[in-house]
């Protein structure tokens, strides 16, 4: 079992890389879409809602398979890593857009009007008045969703990404023994348990005192 520890560890590195890329790209894109949506340009909003609904209703694995096995027939061949990254980033984008948007709309209209009437521009109002209030509301759903989607990195196995589960499965077939899988499972626990605990802490830290 220990023989396969280095493999699992290299898998851990790939999982972390993948997770960080997904979280950064997904949340940035989600925030960007939510901000675009707050400009209230009708056709653009329909487009955003359409994209968001699409990625909320498709299982992430379907998106990964579609990109990895589908795109090569139009002569674009993304690697497994890139397919997984793109797919999960799109999914996280959709969910975080929805969450940020809900946060933005939850800030009372009067806040906008008050800020604008004191002479702040649209951008300043958004940045200094609305978003700070919106973020507090968005943190619990956002942390939950982010954890759920980063766990999806395990789906990369299906398209041959050498992340934890991929390494553990191939070690299992090499050794005819499921102990590497146990090692992989332990690696996930070690990796994600602190994240779950940290998320709980952040949630209580930023919660509105009621």
| Binding residues for other proteins (CB under 8 A) | 53-54, 56-63, 65-66, 69-70, 73-74, 98, 101-103, 105-106, 137, 147-148, 151-155, 157-158, 165, 169, 178, 181, 184-185, 188-189, 192-193, 195-197
Rounded Cα distance, 7 and 28, in Å: 32
User: CA 41 → CA 46, 71, 98, 162, distances in Å?
Assistant: 9, 31, 17, 43
The three-state secondary structure class of 7 is: helix
Q: 89 by DSSP, 3-state: which?
A: helix
Nearer to other proteins, 28 or 71 (CB): 71
The minimum distance between CB 73 and other proteins, in angstroms, equals 4
63 vs 130, beta carbon nearer other proteins: 63
Helix (H, G, I), strand (E, B) or coil at 76: coil
Least distance to other proteins from the beta carbon of 119, Å? 27
Tell me if 109 sits within 8 A of 130, measured CB to CB: no
Judged by CB, which is closer to other proteins: 46, or 124?
A: 46
Closest to other proteins by CB, 61 or 82: 61
């Amino acid at each position: 079992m220990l023989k396969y520890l280095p493999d699992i560890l290299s898998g851990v590195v790939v999982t972390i890389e993948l997770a960080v890329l997904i979280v950064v790209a997904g949340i940035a894109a989600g925030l960007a879409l939510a901000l675009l949506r707050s400009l209230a340009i009708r056709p653009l909003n329909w487009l955003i809602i359409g994209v968001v609904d699409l990625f909320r209703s498709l299982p992430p694995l379907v998106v990964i398979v579609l990109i990895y096995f589908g795109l090569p027939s139009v002569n674009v061949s993304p690697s497994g890593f890139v397919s997984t990254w793109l797919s999960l980033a799109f999914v996280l984008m959709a969910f975080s857009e929805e969450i940020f948007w809900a946060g933005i709309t939850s800030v009372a209209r009067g806040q906008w009007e008050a800020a604008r009437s004191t002479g702040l521009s649209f951008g300043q109002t958004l940045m200094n008045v609305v978003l700070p209030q919106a973020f507090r509301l968005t943190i619990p759903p956002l942390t939950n969703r982010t954890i759920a989607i980063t766990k999806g990195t395990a789906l990369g196995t299906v398209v041959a990404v050498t992340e934890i589960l991929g390494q553990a499965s191939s070690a299992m077939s090499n050794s005819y023994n499921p102990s590497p899988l146990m090692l992989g499972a332990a690696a996930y626990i070690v990796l994600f348990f602190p994240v779950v605990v940290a998320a709980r802490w952040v949630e209580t830290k930023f919660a509105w005192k009621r």
